[in-house]
Amino acid sequence: MRYHPLTDADRADMLARIGVSGIDALYADVPADELLAGFLDLPKGRGELEVERVMGRLAAKNLVAGSVPFFVGAGAYRHHVPASVDHLIQRSEFLTSYTPYQPEITQGTLQVLFEFQTQVANLLGMEVANASMYDGSTGTGEAVLMAHRLTGRRKAVLAGGLHPHYAAVVRTLSEMAGDAVVTLPPDPTATEDLLAAIDAETSCVVVQTPTVFGHLVDLAAIADKAHAVGALLVAVVTEVVALGAIEPPGAQGADIVVAEGQSLGNPLGFGGPYVGLFATRKKFVRQMPGRLAGETVDAEGRRGFVLTLSTREQHIRREKATSNICTNAGLCALAFSIHLTLLGEAGLSRLATLNHQAAVALADALGGIAGVEVLNDTLFNEFTIRLPGDAAALVERLAAKGILAGVPVSRLLPGAGLDDLLLVAVTETVTPEDRAALVAAIRAAI
Amino acid sequence: MRYHPLTDADRADMLARIGVSGIDALYADVPADELLAGFLDLPKGRGELEVERVMGRLAAKNLVAGSVPFFVGAGAYRHHVPASVDHLIQRSEFLTSYTPYQPEITQGTLQVLFEFQTQVANLLGMEVANASMYDGSTGTGEAVLMAHRLTGRRKAVLAGGLHPHYAAVVRTLSEMAGDAVVTLPPDPTATEDLLAAIDAETSCVVVQTPTVFGHLVDLAAIADKAHAVGALLVAVVTEVVALGAIEPPGAQGADIVVAEGQSLGNPLGFGGPYVGLFATRKKFVRQMPGRLAGETVDAEGRRGFVLTLSTREQHIRREKATSNICTNAGLCALAFSIHLTLLGEAGLSRLATLNHQAAVALADALGGIAGVEVLNDTLFNEFTIRLPGDAAALVERLAAKGILAGVPVSRLLPGAGLDDLLLVAVTETVTPEDRAALVAAIRAAI
Amino acid sequence: LEEALIFEIGRPDTSGVDLPAPSAAKARLGSLARKAPLGLPGLSEPEAVRHYVRLSRRNYSIDAGLYPLGSCTMKHNPRLNEKMARLAGFSDVHPLQPTSTVPGALELIGEVGRWLTELTGMAAVAMSPKAGAHGELAGMMAIKAALKARGLDKPVVLVPESAHGTNPATAAAIGFEVRAVPARADGTVGAADVRAAIDERVGAIMLTNPNTCGIFEPEVAEIAAAIHEAGGYFYCDGANFNAIVGKVRPGDFGVDAMHINLHKTFSTPHGGGGPGAGPVVLSERLAAFAPLPFVRVTDGEAVLVENPEDTADGETPYGRLTAFHGQMGMFTRAYAYMLSHGADGLRQASEDAVLSANYLRACLSDVMTLPFPDHPSMHEVLFDDRFLDGTGVTTLDFAKAMIDEGYHPMTMYFPLVVHGAMLIEPTESESKAALDLFAATLRDLVFAATGGDSERFTGAPRFAPRRRLDETRAARSPKLRWDKPAAAE
Amino acid sequence: LEEALIFEIGRPDTSGVDLPAPSAAKARLGSLARKAPLGLPGLSEPEAVRHYVRLSRRNYSIDAGLYPLGSCTMKHNPRLNEKMARLAGFSDVHPLQPTSTVPGALELIGEVGRWLTELTGMAAVAMSPKAGAHGELAGMMAIKAALKARGLDKPVVLVPESAHGTNPATAAAIGFEVRAVPARADGTVGAADVRAAIDERVGAIMLTNPNTCGIFEPEVAEIAAAIHEAGGYFYCDGANFNAIVGKVRPGDFGVDAMHINLHKTFSTPHGGGGPGAGPVVLSERLAAFAPLPFVRVTDGEAVLVENPEDTADGETPYGRLTAFHGQMGMFTRAYAYMLSHGADGLRQASEDAVLSANYLRACLSDVMTLPFPDHPSMHEVLFDDRFLDGTGVTTLDFAKAMIDEGYHPMTMYFPLVVHGAMLIEPTESESKAALDLFAATLRDLVFAATGGDSERFTGAPRFAPRRRLDETRAARSPKLRWDKPAAAE
C-alpha cells in the first residue's frame, strides 16, 4: 500500500524485536471473540487512478456554481479567491503542521494567528478577536453562552433577521443546556420591533446585519437599549465583504461580534469547512471561547508568539472551561488572512463596492418585472424578492435551465408562510450577462 | 498592478534619490524618436477573474484527452501522474529557484539532479547521464553532434523506425552545420536492412526502440556492426515506460542513449515542456552536452553537490563549447525523478506490464476486424494497423464521435504513401471500455 | 532572519488584487455606509507570497519530519486527497443549491457515512459535527435527548480521571454533572469501579478506548454492560479509533455513540489547528436522535433531510448543530483515503501504527520508564519522567532538547494521571529506518540527561527559529493584537 | 540535518504507486524482455514526500528572498499562471490530436505570438524553440537560410567581447565563423568598431541590447544600419528585453531576429534550471524562413503548419527544430502574465525594473565601484571589484558573505569584460523597503571588507546548508552518479 513504508520483512523484524509472534499478540486486551477475523464488507484498496475515477464520477453529477449564472447566498458566498491563496495554504509547513503547542518550531502558524486576530478585530471594529471558530453559526452559539457567563442571565433574544440556521443552532445548544431563547418571527420587511423584546432578564440580543433577508440594520439603538437593561448586543455578519462598505458592528456598540469568514479565501465547498470570526471587548477576553495567540519574547529577548490564556480552555479547566472547543479552523483562517492581506483596505473597499453595485443593478432590473416585488430599501449584495408564485418551484425550473437563481425562503423556513420569497445574492463573479439571463428567465417563467 | 510593490510615492522618492526628474531620463541612451509615446495596440491589464475567463474559454475549446477514449501516442504518452508529484514540483523552493550556481544554498536542486542522473543512467543501462536536455528530439540532435566530435566523422545514418520529427530535427541541425545525414525510408514492417547502410564514413547510426511504428529492435547486431567500422550506436527511446519491460539499450551495446522522459511525471501539455534524457559511457563524458551535477565535499568535509565539468560549456568555452545549451529541463526532470522514485523498480515493472498487456489485448481485438491488419509481431504499448482506407479521415470521423483513435502516419510522413496506416497507443489510463469503444467504432466506420 | 508583521510592512492603499473600477452608481446603504478606515494593511502579491512562505518556513510539519505527538495522530496526508477535495464538483457547489443539482455530493456524504458505520459496527451516523469536540457534543446531546424521550432523570455522567479535558467540558456544557471514575494502577478503568460509581442518577459514561494511556480497555465490554443495565448510555471518545480500525468494532463492545476525528483516523490535514471533522456514529438505541441535517440513503438514493418537516417515521432529531451539512471538504479527503486504503489497507494501517508504537517501546523501555508495563500499547506508548529523576531535567526540557535534534517533541504532561507523561505516537507513516533513528536519538538524549549534561536540556532549543519562549509573560500581560506604536518623535 | 540519497533509503520492492495486478497474459516482446534488474529504488509516498520537502528546504528561492542575479531576471512568478497552465484544456491535450480538436490551443499560441510581435515591432515569430539558447539557434539558422537563399557566401558573424557565451557557441554550432568586436571603455559597442570589423564575408552581427553591462547600446541603430548596408542581418540577444518592453521596440532599431526568454521577461518559473521557452521574432526580411511547425493566423483562425506540404506561397521554412510545437506550458503561463499586465502593466514592469536598478546604484555607488559610470543602467547595475582592492576579499568571497546575510548573491564574474564583475538585477518585484534593506546590508558588508574583517568573507558561508564547497575536487575526479558502496565487511 503506497502510504505504508513498512515492508513485510520490516514487520517481521519489528515483531521479533518486540518479542511477540504476531500482530494480534499486541491486541491481547481485545476480547478474542471481538477481534475481527476477516475484512469488513467494504472494497479493497485502490490506486490513485481508480480513486480519481470514482470520485470524478461523483463530482461530475453536481452542477458546478461557476458553470452557470449563480445567485445563491444566504450565508455562503461565491467570491473569487486569488490563486496564490490556495497555493500558500498548501505549503507543507502550513498544511501538515499541528496546533502550535511547541511555539519555538511553529512561529509560522502563531504569527499568522496573531495577524489574523488583529485583522479580524479591525475588520469587525472590535478590540480583540480569537484565533477562529468552526464557523459563523457555531460561533453564534458560543457568543450566546459567553453572554450568559458575562451577565449571569440565561435568556437570549434572537432577531427576526438572524439566519434561521443560526437561530436553530442557538436553540439546540440552549435547549440542551436548559437556557431560554426568544426567537422573533422572520422579518423579511425589516419592520419588527426588536427593542420591545429586550427586558431585564435578557442576557443578550442577537442581531444579524445585513439580515438574512438582506436589510442593513442600524445597531446603535439596539445596543443602547440592551446596555440600558444590562444585556449585551451580539452582532452577526454572514457576509464579511459587506464590511468593506458598511459601518462595522463594533462602531455601533456591539459587545460581541460573530461572523462567517468563508467569503474571504474559502470556497463554497457545499457548506464547509468554513471559518468563524469572533471578536469582543478587551475586558471580556477571559470569557471568550477559542484559541488565542499572544505576543511574548524568547530567552534572547526576541519577539515571538505563543498560544496563551489557555487556562480558559478545556484541557486545563475541564468541566469549568469556557467551551469544549479544542481546535479552530486554522487552515481556513490562514486562507482568510492571506486573502484579506492581498486585498488590503483599498481592495476590500473596491470589492464591496463592486458587489453592492451589481446587486443594486439586479434588484432594480428584477423590480422592473411585473409581478415581482423587491422587499429591500437597503441592501448590500443580497436582497429578497416576492414572486407571484412558489419560489422553490421557480428555482427548480430555472435550475433545469442552467440558472441557479437563489435560495427560496421556504428552504430555510418551511411552513412559515413565506413560500413566495426568494433570496438573491450577487457577487463580483456574476457578469452582466448572468444578470440579464436571470431577469429574462424569471420574466419568462412567471 | 498587483505584481508591482512600488507605489507612486515610492517611485517619486526613488527618482529623487537617483537625481533624475522622470523615468525617461534613465532611458536617455534610447534615441528619442524610438521611445514609444503611448501604449502599444494591446489590451490593458486585467484582474485574475477576467484572465481566468479569457483563458478558460480558450481551454474549453479543446477536446481533453482524459475525457474520451484516447489512443494517441507517437512520442508523447498519457500516463497517470501521482498527485504528490505536481504538489512537490510546485514547492516554492523548487519552482522559483534558479540554476544552482551557488551550491551552498541550492543543495536541494543539486541533490535532485545527482539522483536524477543516477536514475537515468540505471534506467537506460548506461554509466553516466546528464542533468537533462530540452526533450528527446533535440537530445537526439545533440547525440549526433557528440558522435561527430567523438569519431571525427560527419555522416549520421538514421534508421527507418526513427520518429520522423526526430529525423527532421537531426537533418535541420546537420544541414545547417554542413554535416551529412542518411535517412532510411520509413519502415512500418520492421524489415529494413540497416546494417547495409553503415559504412566507414558513418559517425553514428541512430535507432529508435520501440520504433515509431511500435516494433522492438534488437540492438546488439547493430551495435556490433557500428563498432566494427568505428561508428557509434545512438539509441533513442520515446516511451521510457517500455524500459520497465524490455532490455535497456545500454545492455545491448549502445554508446549514447537518448530518451524522451515525458511519460514519467509530465503531462501531455500539447507538446511541451518535456524532458530529454541523455546517457553515455563514462569515457565519453567530457564530450557530453548539457549540465552535470557532481559530488564533492564542503569545508567541513560534509558531502555536497555542485555543477561540474562546466569547462565543456558555452559560458567558459564560448565558440568551442560542446553545445550552445544553457539550461536544462530542471522542473520536468524533478517531476520525472519523483515519479520514478515513487514507482521504484517494482512499480515501473508493473506499470510496463499493464501497458503492454492492454496494448496486446487491443491489437488482438483490432486484428480481428475484417479489413484491419496489425503490422507488429513485437510491440510494447503502441502498434501500427493498416486500414482499408485513409487513416486521417477515419481519425477525424472518430474524433467527431468523441474517440481519439491514434496518429495517422500521414500526419508524420505526408506524401510517403502510408496514408492507410494508423499508430495506436494504449497506456494504463485506457479502460477495457475505452478499448471496446474503439474496436466498435472502427468496425462500424470501415 | 526576522519577518515583520503585515501591519508593519503593509500599506492601506496597496493591493495584491486587481479589480475593475466601480461605476459611479448610487449606493443603497441607507445611513450605514462606512465612515472610518478599518486599519487593514495590503501587500502586493510578491510581498504577500514572500511573507507567508517565510513564515511557513518557521513551522515544523509532518512532511518535514517525524511528528510523534501522542493522541494527535500526525500521519501522512496524501496529496491525492487535496486534489480530490478541489474537484469543482465538490468545492464549487453551494450548500443551498437545489438538492436536485447536487446528487453526487449527497451520495458522497452517504458513502462516507456507510464506511463509518460499517467500520464501527453502528447503526447511524451524524455527519455535521465540525470537529472531534463538536462530535462529542453531538453524541452527548443525542444521549440527553434519548434520556429525555424515555422520561429519565439521569443528569450524571461518569468520566474517568484519565479522560481528555473535552469530555468533562462537553458534558458540563449541556448541563450534565460530571462524576470522576478513578484510574487503576495499571492505567485502565475497572468495571468494578464503574459499577461502584453508578447509581440511578447516572445516565452515561464517557470512556476513551483505546484509552489516553494508549491501552485497550480490557473490561470495556463489562463497563458497557454495566451502564446499559443501569439504563444509561456509553459514549466512547473515538480519538484513538485509528488503533483498531478493521480489528474490532466499537459497536461490538457496546458503544452507543462515538465521534470520529476524520483528521486523525482518516488523515485529513491538521492545518496548524484545523479544520477538523467529527462525525458521530450512533447505536440502534440512539439512531433516531441524530441531529439535522442528515443524509438518508434509500435504495441507493441519497436524500438530504434538513428540517423537522422532512423527517420520516421514527426520526426524532434533537435539533441542528451547525448552519450547513458538515465539513464536506473533509469528507472528500476522508473518502479518498478510505477508497485508497480499502478494508485491507485500513486494517494494515491500524496494525502498523500499533506495531510501530510497540517497536519504539521495545527500543526504549530499558532507558525510559513505563508507568503501565502490564498491557501492550496500542498506537501510542506512554512513558513517565521517572527516568529523569535527579537529573535536573524536566519533561519540558527533554522535549525542547528533541527540537534541537530535528524532531517535534511527543505529547507532554498528558494524560494527567501520570507524572511527567510523555506520549509517543509514531503512526503507520514512518519507515523502520526512521523509527530506528528516532529511537537512537532518544537514547542518546537519555544518556546525556542521566550523564549530567543538563545544560543541553535546560538551554534548549538552540537550533530553532526561537529560543525558549516566555509563556508566563504572555499570559500575565496578554498582547493579543498588533497596535500601532506610539510615534517615536 | 542530513538527507540521504534515494539510493541509500529506497528499496527495489517498495512502491509509492498502487497498481492493479497484471493478468497472466502472454507478452509480445520477442527476445527483448528485460533480463536484469535496473537498480531503481522505490519509496513509499510518505517517505518520498518527506525526502523532496526536505531537499527543497535547502534551496534559496524568489519566494523566500531577493534574488538579484543579474541577467537572470528572478522576478515574481504569479501562481495564477501555474493554475492556468494546469487547465485540462491545455495540460491534457496531445500534440498530435487532430487539429480540429484543439482550436483553443492553437489560438493561444497565435495570441502569444501576436503579443510578442507587437511588443517587439517585428513581422513574425517562431514559437517552437525550447529555451533562449535554442531561440538563438533558431534565429541564426533563419539568417543562414536567408543568406543561402540569397546566394551569399558570408560565413562570418560579429560578436562583441561582452556577449554571453551562448552567442559564439550558437554561431559556431551551425558553421559560422566568429569574429570578436572590442568593447569600448564606456561598456558599449561602437558603430565605428563594427564598421571596421565588417567585410564582405560578414553575414550577421549578434548583439545583446540592453547589453550585458546593463546599458542600452546608444549606437544600436547605426550598428544595425551598418550590417544591413553590408547585406547582413542583425541578431539581437533578447535576454534583457525585460528592461524595455513597452518603451522601445527592437524592430524600430533595426533588429532582424531576436529570441525572447519567456522565463525572464514574462515570468515563467525558472524551476532550478528550466524549462524555459525561447520564441524568436523575425523581421520582414527573415519572416519567410521561420522553421516548422508554426501557427498561421488568418482571419482570426489559427492553423498549424507542420510540414513543408502545408506551407503557403512565400513560406520557406528551413526545417524543424523540435518534435512538437514548442513549450506550450510556458506559453499558457506567459499569456496569463501578458493578460494580467496588459500594455500598461508591461511598460510599468520595465520602468520599475530600471528604476529599482538605478536606485540601488544610487544607494551603493559611493561605496562600490562602477566600471561604466557614464551611462544610466537599465534593469541591472554592474559593479566591479576595485572597491575590494587590498582587502584580501575576492568577488567570490563577497558573494558568499551575502549568503550569510540571507541573500542570494548577484551574478559574479560576468560579463567578462570587467574584472570581478558583480551584476545586480533587483527586478520590479521588490518593494522599496526590500531594496533599502538590501542596500544597507551591502553597505555593511563593504565596510566590513574595507575595515579589515576579511575572515567574515573568506570563511563564508557559515549559515547555509553547506560551507564552501570544493568545486575543484568535483571537476578533477568527477563523481557524477551514485554507486553502491563496496560491502563493508
Q: How many domains in chain A?
A: 2
User: B108 at the D interface (CB within 8 A)?
Assistant: yes
Residue A60 inside a domain? The answer is no
| Residue of C11, C59, C79 to mutate when probing chain B, most B C-beta within 10 A | C79
From A118's Cα to the closest Cα of chain B, the distance in A is 23
Q: Count CB pairs under 8 A between chains B and D.
A: 714
For the segment D220-268, what is each residue's pLDDT rounded down to a tens digit?
999 999 999 999 999 999 999 999 999 999 999 999 999 999 999 999 9
Chain A residues lying within 8 Å of D83, measured CB to CB: 83
What CA–CA distance (Å, rounded) separates C445 from C243?
A: 28
Nearest CA to CA, how far is C54 from chain D (Å)?
6
A436 shares its domain with A327: no
Q: Which residues of D469-478 are buried (b: 16+ CB within 10 A; e: fewer)?
A: bbeebbbeeb
Closest to A359 in 3D by CA, of A214, A177, A218, A227? A214
**Could you say which residues from 463 to 482 on chain D have a Cβ atom under 8 Å away from some Cβ of chain B?**
464-471, 473-475, 478-482
CB contact under 8 A, D44 and A45: no
Residue D150: other Cβ atoms inside 10 A: 11
Supply the CATH number for residue B388's domain: 3.90.1150.10
- Give the closest-approach CA distance of C235 to chain D in angstroms: 34
pLDDT at res. A117? 98
Same domain, B354 and B308: no
pLDDT in tens, D290-299: 999 999 998 8
Upstream peptide bond of A43 is cis (omega within 30 degrees of 0): no
Whole-angstrom distance, CA of residue A432 vs CA of residue A430: 7
Model confidence at D1, in pLDDT bands (50, 70, 90)?
Answer: low
The residue among C265, C273, C159, C266 whose CA lies nearest residue C208 is: C159
Residue A22 maps to a domain? no
Which of B55, B146, B297, B350 is most worth mutating to test chain D (most D CB atoms within 10 A of its CB)? Answer: B55
Q: Closest partner residue to D324 among B45, B272, B309, by Cβ?
A: B272
Beta strands at B421-425 and B382-386: parallel, antiparallel or unpaired = antiparallel
Residue D232 phi, psi (nearest 5)? -105, -175
**Residue D350: is its pLDDT beyond 90?**
yes
What phi, psi does C357 have (nearest 5°)? Answer: -65, -45
Contacts of D391 (CB under 8 A, 6+ apart): D449, D450, D452, D454
Q: Quick check: C14 and B7 CB within 8 A?
A: yes
Residue D287 parent element (H or E): helix D284-287
Distance CA(C96)–CA(A412), nearest Å, equals 9
Three-class secondary structure assignment of C411-428: EECCCCCCCCCEEECCCC
* Claim to verify: residue A293 and residue A376 sit in the same structural domain: no
pLDDT surpassing 50 at residue A237: yes
Burial grade of C488 (CB within 10 A; 0-12, 13-18, 19 or more)? exposed
Q: What residues in chain A have their Cβ under 8 A from chain B's Cβ atoms? A: 2, 48-49, 52, 80, 82-83, 87, 90-92, 342, 428-429
Strand partners, D298: D301
- Touching subunits of B (3+ CB pairs, under 8 Å) are A, C, D
CA distance A165 to chain C (A): 5
- Cβ contact A47–D44 (<8 Å): no
**B370 lies in which domain range?**
65-80+345-445
Write out pLDDT tens, residues C425-456.
999 999 999 999 999 999 999 999 999 999 99
Residue length, chain A? 446
> To the nearest whole percent, how much of chain B has pLDDT over 70?
100
CB contact C47 to B (< 8 Å): yes
State the pLDDT at residue A318.
78
What is the H or E stretch that residue B438 is in? helix B432-445
The pLDDT value given to residue A324: 83
Establish whether the linkage from the previous residue to C317 is cis, with ω within 30° of 0.
no
CATH of the domain at B290: 3.40.640.10
- At B370 the pLDDT is 96
> What kind and span of H or E run contains A441?
helix A432-445
Say what the pLDDT of residue A75 is. 98
DSSP C293-351: SEEEEETTEEEEE-SGGG--TT-----BSSSSS--HHHHHHHHHHHHHHHHHHHHHHHH
Q: How confident is the model at residue B328 (pLDDT cuts 50, 70, 90)?
A: confident
Q: For A51, which residue in chain D has the nearest alpha carbon?
A: D18
d(CA A161, CA A166): 10
ipTM score of complex: 0.97
pLDDT band at A327 (very low <50, low <70, confident <90, very high): confident
Do residues A133 and A278 lie in contact, with contact meaning Cβ atoms separated by under 8 Å? Answer: yes
Indicate the length of chain D as a whole number.
489
Quick: pLDDT tens for C373-401. Answer: 999 999 999 999 999 999 999 999 999 99
The answer to whether C325 contacts chain A (CB < 8 Å) is: yes
At B72, the pLDDT band (50, 70, 90 cuts) reads: very high
B 206-245 near D (Cβ less than 8 A): 216, 218, 243-245
Angle at which helices D328-364 and B48-60 cross, to 10°: 150
CB contact under 8 A, D82 and A83: yes
> In this model, does residue C489 exceed pLDDT 60?
no
Same domain, B326 and B390: no
Contact assignment for B83 to A429 by CB distance below 8 Å: no
Last residue of a domain, one of B316, B339, B362: B339
Q: What would the mean pLDDT of A104-108 be, rounded to a whole number?
A: 97
Q: What is the mean pLDDT of residues D193-216?
A: 96
Residue range B315-333: mean pLDDT, rounded: 85
Structural domains of chain C, ranges and CATH numbers in brackets: 80-337 (3.40.640.10), 342-464 (3.90.1150.10)
> Is A348 in the same domain as A261?
no
Please tell me whether the peptide bond between A249 and the residue prior to it is cis, using omega within 30 degrees of 0.
no
Distance of CA A243 to the CA centre of its chain: 15
Residue C1: the pLDDT is 67
Strand-pair category, B155-158 with B128-129: unpaired
Dump pLDDT digits (tens) for D383-416. 999 999 999 999 999 999 999 999 999 999 999 8
CA atoms of C168 and C207, how far apart (whole Å): 11
Do A80 and B342 count as a contact with CB atoms less than 8 A apart? no
Q: Is residue B3 part of a domain?
A: no
Asked if pLDDT for residue A308 goes beyond 50, the answer is yes
Name the percent of chain D lying above pLDDT 70. Answer: 99
* Residue A316 in this model has a pLDDT that exceeds 80: no
Cβ pairs bridging A and C (under 8 Å):
716
**pLDDT computed for residue A419 by the predictor:** 98
With contacts defined as CB-CB under 8 Å, which chain C residues touch A127? 481
Report which DSSP code applies to D209. S
Q: In the predicted model, what is the mean pLDDT of chain B?
A: 96
List phi, psi (to 5°) of B142: -65, -35
Do B297 and B224 have their domain in common? yes
Size of interface B-C (CB pairs under 8 A): 43
CA-based nearest residue to D381, from D65, D68, D60, D61: D68
| Whole-angstrom distance, CA of residue A191 vs CA of residue A187 | 7
Q: What order of strands is seen across the sheet that includes strand B155-158?
A: B128-129, B276-280, B256-260, B232-237, B202-208, B155-158, B180-183
- Residue D381: which H helix or E strand, with range? strand D381-383
Considering only CB atoms, C53 lies closest to which of D64, D429, D433, namely D64
Question: What does the pLDDT look like over B167-191, one tens digit per residue?
Answer: 999 999 999 999 999 999 999 999 9
Q: Are residues B144 and B264 in the same domain?
A: yes
Chain C residue whose CA is closest to D1: C406
CA–CA distance, B115 with B100 (Å, rounded to integer)? 15
Which site among C92, C402, C431 would you substitute to test the D interface, given the most D Cβ atoms closer than 10 Å to its Cβ?
Answer: C431
Triad B117, B123, B125: Cα angle to 5°: 95
In chain C, residues with a C-beta closer than 8 Å to the C-beta of B267 are: none
What is residue D489's predicted lDDT score, i.e. its pLDDT? 44
Choose the final residue of a domain: B339, B365, B389. B339
Cβ–Cβ < 8 Å for C382, C418? yes
Residue written as grid cell 485506457: B430
Nearest to B48 among A48, A52, A83 (CB): A83
Q: How far is C344 from chain A (nearest CA, A)?
A: 6
Alpha carbon distance A113, A279 (integer Å): 14
Nearest to D350 by CA among D427, D424, D455, D417: D427
Q: What is the mean pLDDT of residues C50-71?
A: 96
A263 and A297 together in one domain: yes
Is the pLDDT assigned to residue B58 strictly greater than 80? yes
Q: How confident is the model at residue C488 (pLDDT cuts 50, 70, 90)?
A: low
- A179 domain-assigned: yes
Is A440 found in the same domain as A394? yes
- The C-alpha cell 505536481 sits at B86
> Which domain-ending residue is among A339, A366, A383?
A339
Instruction: Report the pLDDT value the prediction gives residue A312, as an integer from 0 to 100.
Output: 75
Q: Is A416 helix (H, G, I), strand (E, B) or coil?
A: coil
Q: Phi first, then psi: what are they for C222, rounded to 5°?
A: -65, -40
Block residue for cell numbers 527483448: D32
B91/A92 touch (CB, cutoff 8 Å), yes or no: yes
Residues B96 and B133 in one domain: yes
Q: Tell me the C-alpha distance between D171 and B176, whole Å.
A: 11
Look at A7 and D82 and tell me if their CB atoms are within 8 Å: no
Which residues, at least 6 apart from D295, have a Cβ–Cβ distance to it below 8 Å?
D106, D109, D110, D113, D127, D302, D303, D304, D305, D325
A touches which chains (3+ CB pairs under 8 A)? Answer: B, C, D
Average pLDDT over every residue of B85-100: 97
Q: Quote the minimal CA–CA distance from C316 to chain B in Å.
A: 43
Instruction: List the grid coordinates of C262.
Output: 476524520
Task: Indicate if the pLDDT at residue B311 is higher than 90.
Answer: no
Assigned domain for B425 exists: yes
Task: Determine the residue of chain C that is closest to D427 in CA distance.
Answer: C46
| Whether C1 contacts chain A with CB within 8 A | no
Please tell me the distance from the alpha carbon of residue C341 to that of residue C265, in angstroms, as a whole number. 12
On whether both B233 and B368 belong to a single domain, the answer is no
CA distance C464 to C445: 17
User: DSSP character for D181?
Assistant: E
Go through B292-325 and write b for each residue having 16 or more CB atoms within 10 A of its CB, e for each that does not.
Answer: bbbbbebeeeebbbbbbbbebbbbebbbebbbbb
CA distance B224 to chain C (A): 46
C295, three cell numbers: 443524509
Say yes or no for a CB contact (<8 Å) between A49 and B428.
yes
- Asked if D64 lies within 8 A of C50 by C-beta distance, the reply is yes
Q: Is C353 helix (H, G, I), strand (E, B) or coil?
A: helix
User: Which pLDDT does position C51 carry in this prediction?
Assistant: 98
D47: contact with A, CB 8 A cutoff: yes
Q: Is residue A42 situated within a structural domain?
A: no
CA distance B230 to chain D (A): 24
Sheet of D381-383: strand order equals D381-383, D422-424, D411-412
Q: Which residues pair with D280 in a beta bridge?
A: D126, D259
Partners of residue B432 in chain A, C-beta under 8 Å: none
Nearest by CB: D429 against C46, C62, C76: C46
pLDDT at A222 (0 to 100): 97
Residue B334 and residue B349 in one domain: no
Model confidence band, residue B202 (pLDDT cutoffs 50, 70, 90)? very high
Tell me which chain C residues have a C-beta less than 8 angstroms from the C-beta of A102.
60, 399, 403, 408-409
Q: Is residue A160 in some structural domain?
A: yes
Q: How far apart are CA D97 and CA B72, in angstroms?
A: 7
Return the pLDDT at A104.
Answer: 96
Over residues C67-101, the pLDDT tens digits come to: 999 999 999 999 999 999 999 999 999 999 999 99
Amino acid letter for position B43: P
pLDDT band at D488 (very low <50, low <70, confident <90, very high): low
In chain A, positions 166-195, which contact chain C (CB-CB < 8 Å)?
166, 168-169, 171-173, 175-178
Hey, which residues does D178 pair with through a beta bridge? D157
Q: Mean pLDDT for chain D?
A: 95
Q: Please check whether residue B301 touches D, CB under 8 A.
A: no
Residue B55, domain member (yes or no)? no
